[in-house]
Each structure stands twice: as C-alpha cells, then as structure tokens.
Amino acid sequence: MTMAMTNPAVRRRRRQRAFRVAAVGRWAVTAALVMVAVAALYPLLFTVVNSFKSRAGYAQNPLGLPDGISFDNYVETFIRMNVPRLLLNSVVTTLGGLLLSTIAALFIAYAVTKLRIRFGNLLFLFVISMLVIPSQVIIYPLYETILNLGFGNSYSGLILAYAAFGLPMSTYLLVAYFRAIPDELIEAARLDGAGELRILFQILLPVSTPAIAAMSILNFVWMWNDLLLPLVIMGGSDNTTLMVGVALLSGQYDVSIPLVSAGLIVALLPVIIIYFLFQRQILNGAISGAVK
C-alpha cells in the first residue's frame, strides 16, 4: 500500500482529519443502516400486527396497532388449511430434494474433478448449462414427463424436480470447491487403499462442509418457498406444500387481509424458527462456502 511511502507528519494530519470525518460519517452510516433495517423488518412487523386484528378492526384502522390481540385468524387458518399435513409435505419434499441434489452434485463433482474420465469437462459444462432452462419454460412438458414416469401427485415427483433444478448451481459450487482441494490428499488416500467412495465421504465431504452448507441454504430457501413446481406437480388441497397452501388461501373466497396475514405468518414460522436456531451458522459460516 502507499502508506509505507508517506512521511509520518502527513500521516498524523491525515489521521486527525480522518477521525473528524469519521465521527460525522459514523452517525450518517448508522442512520442509513438503521433505515435499511427498518425497511427490511417493517413488512414482516406490519403483517404480524395485522394478523392479530379482526376484520372490522383492520377496516377501521389498517395501519395502527390493534385494540386487542385476537387469535381468531390463526384458528381460522388452521381450520381452512390442514397445516400439519402441508408442513409435513413441505418438510419431506424439501429435505428429499435437498438430499438428492446434494448427493448427485457430490458424485458428479467428484467424478469430474478427481477421477480421470473422458469428457469430464464436457459433463461439467452440460450439467451447469442446464441452468439456462428456467422451470417456467418447460413446466408443462416437465409435468407430462413426471406423469409418464408415474410420479404425478407424489412426493417423488416433486423431489426429483427439485433435485434436477437445484443440481446445476450445486454442481458448480462443489466443483469449484473440489478443485481447490489438492489432489495429493486423494492420492495419498488411494495409496492407503481407500476406495473412491470412501475418499469422497471420509475425506472430501468433511472438508467441503462450508460449500455444502452454502448450497444447502440456497437450495433450502428456494425449495421451501417455491410455488410453481408444487402447484403444478402436486395439485391443490392436502397434497401440496405449505407455500402453495398460503398462495391458494389468499385467492380463496371470503378471505380478509388479517386472515391472509395469519396464514402468511403460519407459513413463515418454520423458516423463521430455523433462522433463529441456526442464525450463527447461517450468517457466519454458510455463505462463505460459496466464496472460498
């Protein structure tokens, strides 16, 4: 840096000025950050507050705090949506999709980076280029294909679709990560007589937890929150995921905004809970896997 070449007197003067600017600047920065935080948190707060209002209460006072707290909207949400069942559907399909896409990505990333196979790079290119096919473009033929395979309206159909759509990004992350792991490590294990699968699961897997964690968060969030694939593959009613349930609730006859708000909070709660439980892991470690 240039610092080394500047003489001490100039440095001192600069330092004093820097502190003065910093004092003012720090306030401005904090104010800006607070504003962004308010913008980030307010919509959720607004929804929570509304979910405790009665229909009439919301009509008279849509913006303020409710007069009293009413849980009627939550009771109604549970009556209208089979929440436990939808939650189960969401958990099974998200975890299934997560697991399958992770395993498939681990396998192919290993094959492409650590095995001498022909067309390795081509395979890698093929898998990541699937990224350019958005789900909306192929949604109908995809659904037909899933039906042809006998997976319509079933967990397996949605899990396979999730896995396929999570695959390109996961593969990309893992391949980039595996490349950074020195081949010597693997050579040594091979010489010790370890099989390839053992090398993958006992050596590479532990080392690449940050990358796996990062892609798991990306995948978890989009799979849990996805609308299109479950809407089309699973249909309506009890078969579908929590997120589709909420989207459908909002379109239902005779709903009110407080009721929809309660539905939104119910759908959000599992994610929020996970976020608070694993906050440190998510915020500190997880994403760093993506950037090495």
Helix orientation angle between 120-129 and 83-114, rounded to the nearest 10 degrees: 150
Q: What is the C-alpha separation between 166 and 160, in angstroms, rounded?
A: 10
Between 78 and 92, name the residue whose CB sits nearer to other proteins: 78
From the CB of 208, what's the least distance to other proteins, in Å? Answer: 14
248 touches other proteins by CB under 8 A: yes
**98 vs 108 by CB, closer to other proteins:** 108
DSSP the chain: -GGGGS-HHHHHHHHHHHHHHHHHHHHHHHHHHHHHHHHHHHHHHHHHHHHTS-HHHHHH-SSS--SS---HHHHHHHHHS-HHHHHHHHHHHHHHHHHHHHHHHHHHHHHHHHS--TTHHHHHHHHHHGGGS-HHHHHHHHHHHHHHTT-TTSHHHHHHHHHHHHHHHHHHHHHHHHHHS-HHHHHHHHHTT--HHHIIIIIIHHHTHHHHHHHHHHHHHHHHH--HHHHHHH-SGGGS-HHHHHHHHHHSTT--HHHHHHHHHHHHHHHHHHHHHTHHIIIIIITHHHH-
Taking the complex as a whole, the smallest distance from the CB of residue 206 to other proteins amounts, in Å, to 19
Using the rule CB under 8 A, is 198 a contact of other proteins? Answer: no
Residues in 7-36 that interact with other proteins by CB under 8 A:
11, 14-15, 17-18, 22, 25-26, 29-30, 32-33, 36
> Binder to other proteins among 86, 98, 112, 215 (CB under 8 A)?
112
Of the candidate residues 69, 75, 153, 201, the single one contacting other proteins (CB under 8 A): 153
Q: Under the criterion CB under 8 A, does residue 59 sit at the interface with other proteins? A: yes
Cβ 21 to other proteins, closest distance in Å? Answer: 8
Contact with other proteins (CB under 8 A): which of 184, 192, 193, 206? 184
Residue from 71, 236, 269, 281 binding other proteins (CB under 8 A): 236
287 near other proteins, rule: CB under 8 A: yes
Does 269 participate in binding other proteins (rule CB under 8 A)? Answer: no
Asked whether the beta carbons of 91 and 279 are under 8 A apart, the reply is no
Residues from 60 through 99 that contact other proteins (CB under 8 A): 60, 62-63, 79-80
Q: Does 37 bind other proteins (CB under 8 A)?
A: yes
Q: What part of residues 200-219 is at the interface with other proteins (CB under 8 A)? A: none
Amino acid letter for position 225: N
Question: 197 with 215: CB under 8 angstroms?
Answer: no
Question: Site for other proteins (CB under 8 A): which residue of 51, 93, 114, 158?
Answer: 114
Shortest reach from residue 107's CB to other proteins, in Å? 4
**Closest approach of other proteins to the CB of residue 83, in Å:** 14
Examine residue 159 and tell whether it contacts other proteins (CB under 8 A).
Answer: no
Among 77, 89, 158, 172, binds other proteins (CB under 8 A): 172
Smallest distance, other proteins to C-beta of residue 292, A: 8
Count of residues in the chain:
292
**Binding string, 216-235, against other proteins, x = CB under 8 A?**
-----x--xxxxx--xx--x
